[in-house]
A and B are shown apart, each in its own frame.
Chain A
């Protein structure tokens, strides 16, 4: 079993829809939780990070963490075709290297 599980999709939604992307994890020691967006042939780009349970909002994006359930979500409101990309969740132990453990990524397609 992987430490971080993420539904690979693809997820196809109409423009303007609310998108929900989710990850579950098994290691309760994870302390920081991140969402990256990756366009084709590009490196991942950090969207949001949070370290506590609860919600964090940034424009159309909301990151939600539930440490008791080991479950994190990213919500995208008023989705746009430009949001079409692969979304990766990532987590870190904040140990000596702070290396990131990634989910497998969810491919999102927003149809005009």
Chain B
């Protein structure tokens, strides 16, 4: 596609429920990143994929968070047993080369009530 596509754009969920956030990167981009943006913490790295592998998961805040990438393309970020502190904008970025020229999606705004 022309850009990085994320769905849904908005998600409201009840505390304790599981959610899945989807990212469609730019075709051909092998590097894919998930970040989280919240008022108190700014923009924080969550996880990095190179192809289908995740060599850096150091930013995942707890074991309730997991992510996968299939076919070197679509990625899904799953949050289990959501908590109110999970409320944030989850941003996906992809790039042809690691680190430089990341293209971000518009994000999924998650609200846990």
| Chain A contacts to B: CB under 8 angstroms | 32, 41-46, 49, 88, 90, 92, 94, 96-105
A88 and B102 CA atoms in complex are apart in Å by 14
- A43 close to B105 (CB less than 8 A): yes
A103 and B37 CA atoms in complex are apart in Å by 11
* Chain B: interface residue total (CB-CB under 8 A): 24
| Chain B contacts to A: CB under 8 angstroms | 4, 31, 33, 35, 42-45, 48, 55-56, 59, 91, 93, 98-107
Tell me what chain B mostly uses at the interface: helix, strand, loop, or mixed.
strand
Indicate which residue in A41, A44, A97, A103 contacts B98 across the interface (CB closer than 8 Å): A97
A32-B99, A42-B106 as given contacts; A99 in contact with B43, CB under 8 Å: no
- B42 close to A104 (CB less than 8 A): yes
Residues of A within 8 Å of B100, CB to CB, are 32, 49, 98
Residues of A within 8 Å of B105, CB to CB, are 43
